[in-house]
Chains A and B, each alone.
Chain A
């Protein structure tokens, strides 16, 4: 199967502080890559490098015709920002040339009630806001979805629902999925391959090879070398 993404010797530094050092991996079309690692290991920075929002060294090669959808981890939205979910989705539709019908489709795919979409985005609950961001990412038919901690700030049931949704989307729409997650059980169940960024060398392989007690201890066990905040 062809690769959607090939990364070779990727490095990211902020000033003198190297946040990511020498990462190489590939993501085949239609697969699920889970990125794991302790807080501050640079998982979010990796995604930001992949979408081109932080400068990097090394090679990031997306295949031709890739359309990215990106769902960030946490956004700092003021409660009284007068922008509704519908404003936000309509803006994406207008930028990408998607029709209004597609907004309705994206909302029903993620299970967000139209009533919630009419409220200012700062007043939505964690789960509703996460689903709104997912709906935004799904507009204009992406074939690759990057999802940073899909269930951070969402209660358990809401979290399960989000995982079910992305799993279904991934199967039905043949999407390639890149996922940052702390939930190793989810990673074990859903991922085709796992990339771990820890204190030592990064590791990359099938969940069965990576998610062994020894490997997990080596990734999460020791204190991390760099303190970079993901937010």
Chain B
């Protein structure tokens, strides 16, 4: 029973990452997404120091980081890329100082280990929330992506939608921290979606393919990592990257 729950959780986490990733890729947030996931590290470090569950610390730090990005984008004229580059690299440095040894390696690269029942339930609820958000809001998200001004005249509150999307993004990253770690979770959001973008010709096609690639990479990577005794994160991303390069070849032939 526990095994089925763990499997469902990793599939749900991956599906959430794939869906959020589609809009992150189309909004050209590729680099930002990677950097945002790094901000979880100091949260994890502080949580370990205070003997709190590391993922709670990571999630809290992600929430703060997300609010910061949104505020910078909407309230100031500072270049978002500059700020992300500075703030999030600093977060990575500070986080590495706070955590150490085994804990640091696990936090950076991911180590699923034993997952408790309540963690599975909470994680599944989070994954379902992200999936439901993207599917329910995909029309608003796509119109705002093509033209924020046209979205406004269609009655979309673009600024609120941006915030909701960034929060869904942060939640998707938090869900995957245990599997992929701080360094690589951003890549599970981006790579399957980028693969789907190369192959798909419509929005529905892209969303479906991104979910399929993310889930397949996560499940196959998880199994392979256990067999070759390596951290899960790098193996999952290696599988996802293999799909990506295969998609480049497939498109070149088309």
Contacts and interface: CB of A to CB of B under 8 A. Distances in A.
B205 A72 contact: no
A21 interface: no
Nearest to B148: A53
Interface string B188-226: 000000001110111111100000000000000000000
Contacts of B79: none
B200 A82 contact: yes
Contacts of B206: 82
Given A51-B152, A81-B26, A87-B203, A121 B139 contact: no
Interface residues of B, number: 28
A83 B139 contact: no
A199 B155 CA distance: 34
B76 to A, nearest CB: 12
Contacts of B197: 80, 82
A87 B204 contact: yes
Contacts of B148: 53
B162 to A, nearest CB: 13
B202 A72 contact: no
Contacts of A70: 149-150, 152-153
Given A80-B198, A95-B155, A133-B150, A88 B205 contact: no
A204 interface: no
A95 B198 CA distance: 27
B202 to A, nearest CB: 5
Given A80-B197, A90-B139, A96-B155, A137 B150 contact: yes
A116 B147 CA distance: 20
A101 interface: no
A87 B145 CA distance: 12
Given A83-B202, A90-B139, A95 B146 contact: no
Contacts of A80: 197-198
Interface string A65-88: 000111110010100111110111
A140 B26 CA distance: 26
A80 to B, nearest CB: 7
Given A94-B139, A120-B201, A83 B146 contact: yes
Contacts of A87: 142, 202-204
B143 A91 contact: yes
A75 B200 CA distance: 21
A92 interface: yes
Contacts of B204: 87
Interface in A132-172: 133, 136-137, 140, 146
B152 A95 contact: no
Contacts of A75: 146-147
A81 B150 CA distance: 18
B202 A96 contact: no
A52 interface: yes
A95 B140 contact: yes
Q: Which of B145, B148, B201 has the most CB of A within 10 A?
A: B201
A92 B154 contact: yes
Interface of B: 26, 77, 138-140, 142-143, 145-150, 152-156, 196-198, 200-206
25 contacts: A51-B153, A52-B152, A53-B149, A69-B153, A70-B150, A71-B150, A77-B146, A82-B203, A83-B26, A83-B145, A83-B146, A83-B202, A83-B203, A84-B201, A84-B202, A87-B202, A87-B204, A88-B142, A91-B140, A91-B143, A94-B139, A95-B143, A95-B155, A96-B155, A133-B150
